[in-house]
Amino acid sequence: MTLKALFAATATAALLLSLPASAAQITVGFSQIGSESGWRAAETSVSKQEAAKRQVNFKIADAQQKQENQIKAIRSFIAQGVDAIFLAPVVASGWDAVLKEAKEAKIPVVLLDRDIDPSGKELYLTAVTSDSVHEGEVAGEWLAKTVGEKSCSVVELQGTVGASVATNRKKGFDGVVAKHANLKVVRSQTGDFTRAKGKEVMESFIKAENGGKSICAVYAHNDDMMVGAIQAMKEAGLKPGKDILTVSIDAVPDIFKAIAAGEANATVELTPNMAGPALDAIIAFKDKGTVPPKWIQTESKLYTAADDPQKIYESKKGLGY
Ligand code: AHR
């Protein structure tokens, strides 16, 4: 063996020894929803990076927004005998049968970024998610504080019907609105978490609300729908961020660009790094039998124009978005 080859072999051995005992052998299958939003695309690329950091063999199945494709992917992961399954459930219901199959095959399941119905609670190991009711509350409280005593008609762009995050973000926001007699949600419709649908639904809200003149604020369950809504407002001759206040969820780079331009007002951050904590939990579970908490909660921080949005835009751009 040449000296160079010996050095290379020693360096590889040192790297392998520094890894957790079984990490090099773990295979994780991730059933991802699709790529409806910038946040979702970032979650996919961050997941790959986090798996690579830990030398985990990572397989991603893109369900193109269909639950039936997610169920098929989970069955295929079970047949392949993966060590763990990550699932970002497009909707909350309808998982019990397939998750029972995973449990019978002794394959731990980790939920990423969305929840399932309580009937499935015993069927997964842990869930890495934000408190999505709280996200809605943070958005509502920002609006209540910003408008003060003024009466304010709000239009709401909901996420995918049946998704836990859509149900919860609505619930949290409605809870705050109920405490403020001057706030009223006058229209609420799904925009399916996409820019195109957000724009389309906002256009219909503007038409129905006196060319947008009777709308005081838009609440969108994600930034992508808000970016679409901002476009709709501009095309209707309105000034988003001024004539109509905006608050949404995710904190993707494009919303910071809009906040920096004065066309959006506030966003609640959802980290796209759900896989990092999920991989750590699975590695500890596999290596040492450490059972993680049932819920690994991520932060929900509010950002506004006061937070140097241009700088945040620049810093976030490279991070998988
Ligand atoms: O489940 C998380 C949500 O799904 C994000 O807020 C949204 O952008 C995404 O598509």
Q: What is the mean predicted confidence (pLDDT) over 146-153?
A: 98
Condensed to tens digits (0 to 9), the pLDDT of residues 175-207 reads 999 999 999 999 999 999 999 999 999 999 999
pLDDT > 70? residue 15: no
Q: Is residue 8's pLDDT more than 60?
A: no
Residue 243 reports pLDDT greater than 60: yes
pLDDT at 25: 81
Q: Which residues line ligand 1 (CB under 6 A)?
A: 36-37, 39-40, 113-114, 165, 193, 222, 224, 249-250, 270
Shortest CA distance to 102 belongs to which of 198, 209, 116? 116
Pairing relation of β-strands 245-250 and 266-269? Answer: parallel
* Distance (Å) from CA 64 to ligand 1 centroid: 14
Q: Which of 15-19, 47-51, 238-242 has the lowest mean pLDDT?
A: 15-19
Supply the mean pLDDT for the chain: 93
Per residue in 90-138, pLDDT tens?
Answer: 999 999 999 999 999 999 999 999 999 999 999 999 999 999 999 999 9
Phi/psi of residue 181, each to 5°?
-60, -25
| Segment (H or E) for 312 | helix 309-317
Average pLDDT over every residue of 39-47: 97
Query: Is residue 19's pLDDT more than 60?
Result: no
pLDDT tens for 45-79 read 999 999 999 999 999 999 999 999 999 999 999 99
Residue 17 pLDDT class (50, 70, 90 cuts): very low
Distance 46 CA to ligand 1 centre (A): 14
- Among the residues of 154-236, which ranges form H helices? 164-178, 195-208, 223-235
Which of 32, 33, 36, 40 best tests ligand 1's pocket when mutated (most atoms within 8 Å of CB)?
40
Separation of CA 36 and ligand 1 centre (Å): 8
CATH no. of 132-270+304-319 = 3.40.50.2300
Q: What is the mean pLDDT of residues 81-93?
A: 98
Quote the pTM value. Answer: 0.92
* pLDDT at residue 317, as a whole number: 87
Q: Give the mean model confidence (pLDDT) for residues 146-152.
A: 98
As given in the structure block, the two tokens for residue 267 are 């966003």
Q: Which protein residue has the closest C-alpha to ligand 1 atom 2?
A: 113
DSSP category for residue 106: T
| Residue 318 pLDDT grade (very low, low, confident, very high; cuts 50, 70, 90) | confident
Cβ count within 10 A of residue 10: 10
**Best mutation site among 87, 132, 193, 321 for ligand 1, i.e. most ligand atoms within 8 A of its Cβ?**
193
Q: What is the pLDDT of residue 321?
A: 85
d(CA 182, ligand 1 centre) in Å: 29
Query: In CATH, what class is 18-130+272-290?
Result: alpha beta
Percentage of the chain lying above the pLDDT 90 cut: 91
Domain boundaries for CATH 3.40.50.2300 within the chain:
18-130+272-290, 132-270+304-319
C-alpha distances in angstroms, 321 versus 52, 72, 251, 313? 18, 28, 11, 10
Please identify, by atom number, the ligand 1 atom nearest to the C-alpha of residue 39. 8
Q: Please give the DSSP secondary-structure letter assigned to residue 83.
A: S
Q: Whose CA is nearest to atom 9 of ligand 1?
A: 40
Spatial strand order in the sheet of 217-220: 183-190, 152-158, 217-220, 245-250, 266-269, 302-304
C-alpha 18 to ligand 1 mean position (Å): 35
224 pLDDT above the threshold of 50: yes
Q: DSSP assignment of 238-303, as one string?
A: --BTTTBEEEEEE--HHHHHHHHTTS--EEEE--S--HHHHHHHHHHHHHH-PPPPSEEEEP--EE
If we measure between CA atoms, which residue out of 291, 279, 297 comes closest to residue 127?
Answer: 297
Q: How far is the CA of 235 from the centre of ligand 1 (A)?
A: 26
Cα–Cα distance, 251 to 165 (Å, whole number)? 15
